Amino acid sequence: NAGVTQTPKFQVLKTGQSMTLQCAQDMNHEYMSWYRQDPGMGLRLIHYSVGAGITDQGEVPNGYNVSRSTTEDFPLRLLSAAPSQTSVYFCASSTGTENTGELFFGEGSRLTVL
């Protein structure tokens, strides 16, 4: 089973560049989310979606955009990268249309912004 797949695993950007982190799941999960992981700060929620066409902001949404055109895919876009966005990003999904707290995580995407 593929589960939650993230690409790329590593990326280096220059300040001001844009990019998209891809996330796909093959479990037919309605709920999907993006987190960033920073040392000493745990994971913080960026954006989430409870189904195709529905997205909402988490606690640190600034500088990021998302869309959900299909159940399977939930890309995260950085419109103008900043050094403060250097982090490890995780996509996670859950069964149903609500987050029960039982999340399935991808392996992460490590982003460095110079």
Partner 1 sequence: GNSVTQMEGPVTLSEEAFLTMNCTYTATGYPSLFWYVQYPGEGLQLLLKATKADDKGSNKGFEATYRKETTSFHLEKGSVQVSDSAVYFCALIRTSYGKLTFGQGTILTVHP
Shortest Cβ 38–partner 1 spacing (Å)? 9
Q: Is 45 in the site for partner 1 (CB under 8 A)?
A: yes
- CB of 91 within 8 A of CB of 45? no
Q: Which of 76, 106, 111, 113 binds partner 1 (CB under 8 A)?
A: 106
Q: Among residue numbers 59 through 88, which ones bind partner 1 (CB under 8 A)?
A: none
Q: Which of 12, 41, 79, 82 binds partner 1 (CB under 8 A)?
A: 41
Residue type, 67: S
Q: Which CB atom, from 14 or from 102, has the smaller least distance to partner 1?
A: 102
Q: How many residues bind partner 1 (CB under 8 A)?
A: 25
Question: Token match 């037919």: residue?
Answer: 28
Q: Which of 23, 29, 48, 68 binds partner 1 (CB under 8 A)?
A: 48
**Which of 88, 83, 1, 74 minimizes the C-alpha distance to 36?**
88
Tokens of 41: 């700060």
CA 87 to chain centroid, in Å, comes to: 12
Give the C-alpha separation, 109 to 52, whole Å. Answer: 23
3-class DSSP state for residue 84? helix
Question: Which residues here bind partner 1, judged by CB under 8 A?
Answer: 4, 31, 33, 40-45, 48, 50, 56, 58, 90, 92, 98-103, 105-108
